[in-house]
């Protein structure tokens, strides 16, 4: 069972409820921007769509189609969709095969916010590293952790350790 540290992405006073992963906070948004900075950052969907058109002209699949088919995910913040760029190769914006493989193992019902939080959060099974930081160095370990993630309920925020009376271990 995977236990990840997502306290920066969730309200400080909240308990470990799956619904929390659907409601981004301002602090959580900034934390996600910081978490993805080293792996390509995060960009508004409008910009990513234009970059894809520039780098992959012709019959390339649009960003909207990639999101619709689940090849790419994003998360909403203040009426804008933000795309974590680790999902693309830096040199040509082709889909990152490692990110695709891991995404395919995670629950399909997760929102973009929950996916982003999972990829960005420190994970005990990855020796405290986040899945996004381990994609290139130990894909097999990240895949193993993703396969063990059966439900959103198993994705317990780090701050649950500090919550009184929850009876859950992290």
Rounded Cα distance, 81 and 127, in Å: 31
Rounded Cα distance, 13 and 29, in Å: 17
DSSP-based three-state secondary structure for 52: helix
pTM of the model: 0.77
Task: Convert the pLDDT of each residue in 82-124 to its tens digit.
Answer: 999 999 999 889 999 999 999 999 998 899 999 999 999 999 9
Q: At residue 8, does pLDDT exceed 90?
A: no
Backbone angles phi, psi at 83, to 5 degrees: -115, 120
DSSP-based three-state secondary structure for 31: helix
Q: Would you state the pLDDT for residue 163?
A: 30
Q: What residue spans define the domains of the chain?
A: 4-161
Highest mean pLDDT among 57-61, 139-143, 153-157: 139-143
Two tokens at 164? Answer: 């009184």
pLDDT band at 153 (very low <50, low <70, confident <90, very high): low
Task: Convert the pLDDT of each residue in 34-74 to its tens digit.
Answer: 999 999 999 999 999 999 988 876 666 789 999 999 999 99
Q: Would you state the pLDDT for residue 168?
A: 31
pLDDT band at 76 (very low <50, low <70, confident <90, very high): very high
């Amino acid at each position: 069972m995977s236990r990840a540290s997502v306290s920066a992405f969730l309200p400080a006073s909240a308990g470990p409820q799956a619904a929390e992963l659907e409601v981004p906070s301002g602090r959580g948004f900034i934390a996600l921007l910081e978490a993805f900075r080293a792996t390509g950052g995060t960009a508004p969907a409008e910009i990513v769509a234009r970059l894809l058109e520039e780098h992959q002209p012709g019959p390339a699949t649009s960003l909207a189609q990639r999101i619709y088919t689940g090849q790419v995910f994003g998360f909403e913040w203040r009426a804008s969709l933000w795309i974590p760029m680790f999902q693309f190769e830096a040199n040509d914006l082709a889909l990152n095969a490692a990110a695709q493989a891991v995404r395919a193992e995670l629950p399909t019902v997760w929102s973009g916010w929950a996916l982003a939080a999972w990829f960005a959060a420190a994970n005990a099974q990855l020796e405290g590293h986040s899945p996004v930081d381990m994609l290139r160095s130990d894909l097999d370990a990240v895949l193993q952790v993703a396969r063990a993630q059966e439900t959103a309920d198993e994705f317990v925020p780090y701050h649950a350790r500090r919550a009184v009376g929850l009876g859950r271990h992290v």
